[in-house]
Amino acid sequence: MPEMKLDAIAARICGLCSSSHGEIVVSPMVWFPRQPPGTRDWSFNVSVGGRAGKGRIRWSSINIADLDYEPAPQIHPLIAAAVDTVIAIKRPEARAAIINTLRQRGATVHDMADELDAIRLCERLWPGPKVTKIRQAVERERAQWKAEAIQAKASS
């Protein structure tokens, strides 16, 4: 995964917008378990909608993997299937820096604190089967976590 500079990342993201002041949704940092057990891959998504011709909206998502976490990230298969582009960056403050760079370029940036809220906003801004499928998967995952927490509490 080649590393990209912040300005190049911001230019690429803004280039996907349907206007110079396009809407951009930035998810919180999330992690996925990896091998060996106890290690994690950290990343966040930047989602953009653009005109795809004939009035259709194209939803693009860029997964930005943080290379500062060891071992170097391997993109989780669920993310790889959902996103259009994967970009690597080696800076612990990458998320905040990218948000600031996008705002300096005039984009409307929605800085989301919750992954599910970010996906729901994407679905409202750029409706379609792909984003709906992702939202439903995250909702199922959250329901499973809740059931497991209830079960763990009941058995203790």
Q: What is the residue-averaged pLDDT of the chain?
A: 74
Contact 119, 135 (CB under 8 A): yes
* pLDDT of amino acid 55: 44
Q: Which residue has the higher pLDDT, 89 or 123?
A: 123
What pLDDT, on the 0 to 100 scale, is given for residue 22?
A: 73
Distance CA 109, CA 21 (A): 9
Residue 87 has pLDDT above 80, yes or no: no
**Higher per-residue confidence, 88 vs 33:** 33
DSSP 68: T
Contact residues for 122 (Cβ-Cβ < 8 A; gap 6+): 25, 47, 49, 59, 61, 131
Residue 66 has pLDDT above 80, yes or no: no
Its sign, for the CA torsion 72, 77, 44, 41, is negative
